[in-house]
Structure 1
Amino acid sequence: MEFALVTPILFLLVFGIIQYGLYFYDATGTRNGVREAARQGVVKNFPACTGAANDWAKLKCNTKSQIDAVTGDTYVKVSAPDGWAKGKRLVVCAMVDSEGGMGLLPMPNDGVIRSKTQMSIEVDGAPSGSASADTAPTGQDWSWC
């Protein structure tokens, strides 16, 4: 009888811990992935990425692979708002639309994880293509970036 009374609370607690653990795993991965991708971008190290036609697309694709989100879709924006030149800034932003894995408990910021990193460009010579951004998830925009 006691087990039947305690089991629902125990399961909610255990699965809540798992859900928040996955959310915070993705939050950490998003921060680290954006930072690593920005670092590779400022030194013009654009690793090959399947389906990426130019350097900016490679940087976006690399950012997504660095983040490697578990609980939701990843959206990336890369830009050099002041133009590409040594000493100017490269901005890499990402959002993960996290459902938290199970959807049992409410997630911070409605489950949207955001990260932005700016670094100074270290190599002259603009990359091929043009800066771009994925379409933001429903109800979100890139104004914070």
Structure 2
Amino acid sequence: MFCRRHKKRRGDEGGAAALEFALVLPFLLLLVFGTIQYGLYFWTMQGGSDIARDAARMSAVGTPATCAEFDSRVRAAVQSLNGAGGAALITRSYVDAAPLGTINVGDTVQVRVEFPAADLQLPFLPFVDGGLVSTSAEARVEFVPVIPQACV
């Protein structure tokens, strides 16, 4: 008799396990995709930091001298990172420059890069800083080209 009840009870619990799995699955998927989303965000943050450092170093050694070429190179780097090169906001300024914009060796160049991070567009998952990557870097000016410009 004992075996009959036991077998009958097991058959009834099989549906409960499937129901519990169905109830837990959305939260599990949200956790997995949320981890992937934040991993993409932090990967993009690291890449943006590297782009800003490279741009500051380019400015410090005087290549490229024009704002258009500088902007083009930085946008190309952002484009290769996450495909958002067109949406990037790039600024280059010289901190210790003398009045009238004279730039000398030893001044400090600051580069700021802002662009949207890679996004999976998950509707129920909040995104860090609205998905905006904003990073900056500084470098000491080592070479002043003929026409240095602060880019805004």
TM-score (norm. length: structure 2): 0.70
Which of 86, 109, 114 is 2:129 aligned to? 109
Computed over aligned residues only, the root mean square deviation of the Cα atoms, in angstroms, reads 2.3
Partner of 1:85: 104
For 2:89 and 2:117, how far apart are their aligned partners in 1?
A: 11
For 2:144 and 2:118, how far apart are their aligned partners in 1?
A: 40
For 1:109 and 1:9, how far apart are their aligned partners in 2?
A: 23
Partner of 1:16: 34
Structure 1: runs of 5 or more not aligned: 47-53, 134-145
With over 3 angstroms needed to count, the CA separation of the structure-2 counterparts of 1:125 and 1:71, relative to structure 1, is: closer
Which of 111, 122, 125 is 2:142 aligned to? 122
Aligned residue pairs: how many? Answer: 125
For 1:14 and 1:77, how far apart are their aligned partners in 2?
A: 36
Specify the structure having the higher radius of gyration (Cα).
Answer: 2
For 1:101 and 1:75, how far apart are their aligned partners in 2?
A: 22
Consecutive aligned runs of 4 or more in structure 1 exceeding 4 Å deviation: none
TM-score (norm. length: structure 1): 0.73
Q: Flag the structure with higher helix content.
A: 2
Structure 2: runs of 5 or more not aligned: 1-17
Q: What percentage of aligned pairs have identical amino acids? A: 27
For 1:6 and 1:101, how far apart are their aligned partners in 2?
A: 22
